[in-house]
């Protein structure tokens, strides 16, 4: 029975995404995935209207595009949601950020709003030399989500064709469309995703609240249930590393995942595939602690390195790794991990 419960818990470890300046310390499940042919960076879209209540739309487009592009086995998207603001309207700065993320391609976007219409421009740039590989323009009716998703699906389809991504097309994307009857549900989903991307304790709790509100706005909105499941699982893992484990977040995470499955099985199954890299997380943590108690510091460090590779945003694990590295006097590696801890501390304060 205990073994089955542990397996259940391991299946629920969450997905988060990379971001700058916190992207190096944030989760990136693709670290553990098979190598993909192309790495594509996404930044928040520039809000040319500069309307304050439209700020969340800056992150809507890349958030949904990330989900769509991630369905391709050949494309590895990375959402740099906390990139410097100057990168949103300065291609040179944007390319610099994309190179730091080791991306091959970069999607830059701008939008302006006139009444219920959004005029959106999206450019696909080759990161190596900055040349434009594609451009996509469109008018999107807002808050209606159908025309917006038509546009986003088309961008994902055409962008993937530009670098010959296999297995991604409009036909394949259609079952995974992120649609809701409520623009407020969509807004809270995007805000929850952004909080989960940061991967810190405070932001994970914020993500849970945002996803819960998204569900309240639309009880049939599948992405909100799946996002809530991932955030709850992350909360459970954080509590484990902090020394006061609880089964409740994991049990509730499974329940939310099952709700999503009842509404849309393919979407729920796709989300389960995304969390597979986290299967070993608790095992690595417990092995590291066991080796540390036995005085086998080098072996404990080895296990913690495995853990922070698949969960680079886990604050407690990185701090523990710094403590063990100090015992061995590995100065260069100590500095690297301390910088990661500092980044996470800054993220926590956002």
The confidence score (pLDDT) of residue 214 equals 95
For the question of whether the overall pTM of this predicted structure is more than 0.85, the answer is no
What's the CA gap between 143 and 314, in Å, rounded?
Answer: 36
Q: What is the DSSP letter of 117?
A: E
**pLDDT given at position 18:** 33
Closest CA to 42 of 93, 88, 89: 88
Angle at 104 between CA 101 and CA 107, to 5 degrees: 85
Task: Please list the residues that pair with 122 across neighbouring strands.
Answer: 109, 136
The secondary element (H helix, E strand) that includes residue 111 is strand 105-114
Q: What is the pLDDT of residues 128-149, one digit of tens each?
A: 888 888 888 888 777 666 677 7
Nearest to 310 by CA among 76, 32, 77: 32
**C-alpha span between 281 and 287 (Å, rounded):** 10
Residue 223 and residue 271: Cα distance in Å, rounded?
A: 9
Which domains does the chain show, CATH number per domain?
18-176 (3.40.50.10070), 199-278 (1.25.40), 281-348 (1.25.40.10)
Q: What is the pLDDT of residue 28?
A: 40
pLDDT at 259 over 60: yes
Structure tokens at 318: 């990185």
Q: Interior CA angle at 336 toward 330 and 337, to 5°?
A: 85
The position carrying tokens 């609240």 is 209
Token code pair at residue 61: 């487009």
Q: Which residues are 109's β-sheet partners?
A: 122
Which pLDDT belongs to residue 192? 92
Q: 127-131: which pairs have CB atoms within 8 A and are 24 or more residues apart?
A: 127/41, 127/95, 127/98, 127/99, 127/103, 128/104, 130/91, 130/92, 130/95
Structure tokens at 241: 């590393």
């Amino acid at each position: 029975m205990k073994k089955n419960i542990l397996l259940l818990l391991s299946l629920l470890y969450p997905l988060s995404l990379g971001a700058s300046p916190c992207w190096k310390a944030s989760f990136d499940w693709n670290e553990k995935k098979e190598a993909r042919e192309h790495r594509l960076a996404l930044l928040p879209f520039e809000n040319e209207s500069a309307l304050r209540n439209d700020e969340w739309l800056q992150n809507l487009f890349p958030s949904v595009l990330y989900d769509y592009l991630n369905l391709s086995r050949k494309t590895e998207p990375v959402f740099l949601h906390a990139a410097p603001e100057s990168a949103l309207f300065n291609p040179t700065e944007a390319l610099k950020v994309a190179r730091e993320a080791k991306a091959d391609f970069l999607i830059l976007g701008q939008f302006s709003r006139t009444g219920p219409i959004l005029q959106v421009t999206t450019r696909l740039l080759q990161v190596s030399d900055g040349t434009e590989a594609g451009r996509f323009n469109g008018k999107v009716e807002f808050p209606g989500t159908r025309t917006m998703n038509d546009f986003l699906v088309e961008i994902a389809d055409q962008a993937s064709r530009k670098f010959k991504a296999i297995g991604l097309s409009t036909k394949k994307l259609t079952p995974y469309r992120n649609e809701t009857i409520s623009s407020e549900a969509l807004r809270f989903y995007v805000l929850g995703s952004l909080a989960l991307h940061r991967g810190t304790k405070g932001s994970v709790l914020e993500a849970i609240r945002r996803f819960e509100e998204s569900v309240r706005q639309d009880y049939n909105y599948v992405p909100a249930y799946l996002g809530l499941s991932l955030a709850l699982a992350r909360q459970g893992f954080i509590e484990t590393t902090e020394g006061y484990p609880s089964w409740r977040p994991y049990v509730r995470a499974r329940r939310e995942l099952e709700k999503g499955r009842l509404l849309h099985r393919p979407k729920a199954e796709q989300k389960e595939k995304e969390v597979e890299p986290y299967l070993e997380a608790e095992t690595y943590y417990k092995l590291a602690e066991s080796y540390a108690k036995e005085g086998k510091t080098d072996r404990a460090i080895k296990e913690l390195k495995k853990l922070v590779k698949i969960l680079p945003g886990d604050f407690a694990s990185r701090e523990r790794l710094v403590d063990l590295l100090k015992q061995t006097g590995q100065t260069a590696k100590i500095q690297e991990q301390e910088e990661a801890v500092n980044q996470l501390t800054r993220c926590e304060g956002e």
